Amino acid sequence: MPFIPHTEEDIQAMLASIGAQSIDDLFDEIPPALKTGRLNRVPPGLSEMEISRLMLERAESDGRYFNFIGAGAYEHHIPAAVWQITTRGEFYSSYTPYQAEASQGTLQLLYEYQTMMASLTGMDVSNASMYDGASALAEAALMAVRSHKSSRRILMPATVHPIYRKVVQSIVRNQGIDVVELPYCKQSGQIFPDTLDEFGKDEFAALVIPQPNFFGVLEQVDALTDWAHARNALAVGVVNPVALALLTPPGEWGSNGADIAVGEGQPLGIPLSSGGPYFGFMACKQSLVRQMPGRIIGRTSDQSGNTGFVLTLQAREQHIRRSKATSNICTNQGLMVTAATIYMALVGPEGLRRIAGKCHENTLALLEMLETLKGVKRLFTGPLFHEAAISLPSPASDTLASLKARRILGGLNLQEYFPGFTNSILVCATETKTPADLEHYVGELSEILSPGS
């Protein structure tokens, strides 16, 4: 009996104590007509050896590829210590830290995480994480509407990750919130404040500002933040946390700083893993802290005056406020944040800056090499962080398929999200790529584009 320790003797003794004849008796309150629990489509159990073999075969059949796709999930080196410590049973198999005295490890770590994220984003406070970047943006939109009070409009640039925009719609749709899409400059790949005036005429609760945006381009965050503030709206930054080691943090955008910063935490030590589990982060100005959803850890003292950590501001949350809570959110992504905190401690401030710098340098080097190929050019002129949209001389789907046959994932086909871009891909080269990797990619692409030359 997998994972069930009972001996026959135990079972009999326990039934005797209960006063039941059989285990079946324990289900005698369930109407017999409902007991149709046959599991005819669940296969028989496997031993650990058998399931290990099956999983290994499947993993090996999927294989490994040279990956140049980013699009919201980025390949970075993860120090060995990160997951060795994160998967210690005391982190891996512990519960939400409601019993604070028995959860000081997790609670202190989350307080350290909040401190690191506040510094990275330049904001006053951070929560203990959200599900992922996309759902964190949806929660930021709800938070902006709660704190604005008179408007339920959110201005959303088309340069925000297209799936984030879809997720925001799925989550806020039923609350009468209007998400208005803003056009971008087709030349630079950026949003320009002076083209937004028609959208700013009516009141709006928040302007979302991606940095870098989906195309990898850096937005003019200062002007955009001030534009939103001048219209009495909040500025919500959607940022890449690794990029923030190099770029002005949202808390310092414009004259007064963005009000809320969210993003995908995956680049901080979380494996790509087909899309999850990742974690979203959310930080904000002190004045908005009571509107922030999710768990928040506070430092306090115990009966003897020693320092300790607790979940705080729980009066916002569903288990206390029920239908009046700031959100229905119950969990954070505790284990992923454990990994991210250890990651940030291991790389430190200079390490993260160098990693971000290397990503930037590699992507520029890759672009320079790609642009030597005939018919390959950058789509946008705006400055970049570590990702770029390029156009190819032939349909992207064919080119990507040919690269895949050579075990290279050459980028994301932009047509999936922007139907006008038939020949365009989004490419990314992080710090994991060597000069030889870049040459390999460009060499293979060159052969595909001009065979035999």
Partner 1 sequence: MLIFEHARPGRRNYSQSPAKPADTGSIPSSLVRKTPLLLPEVSEMDAVRHYTRLSQKNFSIDTQFYPLGSCTMKYNPRACNSLAMLPQFLARHPRAPESTGQGFLACMYELQEILKNVTGMAGVSLTPMAGAQGELIGIAMIKAYHESRGDTARTEIIVPDAAHGTNPATAVMCGYKVVEIATDKEGDVDMAALKAAVGPQTAGLMLTNPSTLGVFEKNVAEMSKIVHQAGGLLYYDGANLNAILGKVKPGDMGFDVIHINLHKTFSTPHGGGGPGSAPVGVAERLLPFMPVPVVAFESGQYRWLTETDLPKSIGRLSAHMGNAGVLLRAYVYVRLLGSEGMHRVAEFAALNANYLMAELSKAGFEIAYPTRRASHEFIVTLKSLKEKTGVTAMNVAKRLLDKGYHAPTTYFPLLVPECLLIEPAETESKETLDAFVTAMKEILDEAHSQPDLVKNAPHTMPVRRLDDVKAAKELDLVWTGS
In the region spanning residues 196 to 225, those forming contacts with partner 1, defined by CB under 8 A, are: 218, 221-222
To 5 degrees, how large is the angle CA 430–CA 436–CA 441? 70
Binding window for partner 1 (CB under 8 A); candidates: 145-153, 318-326, 372-380, 442-450: 318-326
Length of the chain: 453
77 near partner 1, judged by CB under 8 A: yes
| Closest C-alpha among 189, 188, 207 to residue 197 | 207
Nearest to partner 1 of 87, 187 (CB atom): 87
Q: Which residue has the tokens 């995908």?
A: 264
Count of residues interacting with partner 1 (CB under 8 A): 201
Exactly one of 360, 414, 423, 438 binds partner 1 (CB under 8 A); that residue is: 360
CB 435 within 8 A of CB 400: no
Please, which of residues 225-284 interact with partner 1 by CB under 8 A? 244-249, 252, 264, 271-279
Exactly one of 8, 21, 34, 453 binds partner 1 (CB under 8 A); that residue is: 34
Phi, psi of 234 (to 5 degrees): -85, 155
Exactly one of 23, 197, 371, 443 binds partner 1 (CB under 8 A); that residue is: 23
Radius of gyration of the chain (CA): 25
| Orientation of helix 133-148 relative to helix 162-172, angle to 10° | 50
Nearest to partner 1 of 221, 366 (CB atom): 221
404 near partner 1, judged by CB under 8 A: yes
Exactly one of 216, 250, 257, 334 binds partner 1 (CB under 8 A); that residue is: 334
Task: Return all residues near 48 (Cβ < 8 A) that are at least 6 apart.
Answer: none
69 near partner 1, judged by CB under 8 A: yes
Please, which of residues 86-145 interact with partner 1 by CB under 8 A? 87-97, 99-106, 108-109, 111-112, 114-116, 118-120, 122, 124-126, 128-129, 131-135
419 near partner 1, judged by CB under 8 A: no
194 near partner 1, judged by CB under 8 A: no
Nearest to partner 1 of 79, 395 (CB atom): 79
340 near partner 1, judged by CB under 8 A: no
Task: Return all residues near 280 (Cβ < 8 A) that are at least 6 apart.
Answer: 129, 130, 131, 132, 133, 134, 135, 136, 137, 139, 262, 263, 264, 265, 333
Phi, psi of 277 (to 5 degrees): -75, 140
Please, which of residues 140-179 interact with partner 1 by CB under 8 A? 161, 163-164, 166-167, 169-171, 173-176
CB 28 within 8 A of CB 19: no
Could you give the CA distance from residue 150 to residue 234 in angstroms, rounded to a whole number? 12
Nearest to partner 1 of 120, 234 (CB atom): 120
377 near partner 1, judged by CB under 8 A: no
What is the smallest separation between the CB atom of 148 and partner 1, expressed in angstroms?
18
Classify residue 155 by its DSSP letter. E
Nearest to partner 1 of 116, 235 (CB atom): 116
Could you give the CA distance from residue 250 to residue 89 in angstroms, rounded to a whole number? 36
What is the smallest separation between the CB atom of 144 and partner 1, expressed in angstroms?
15
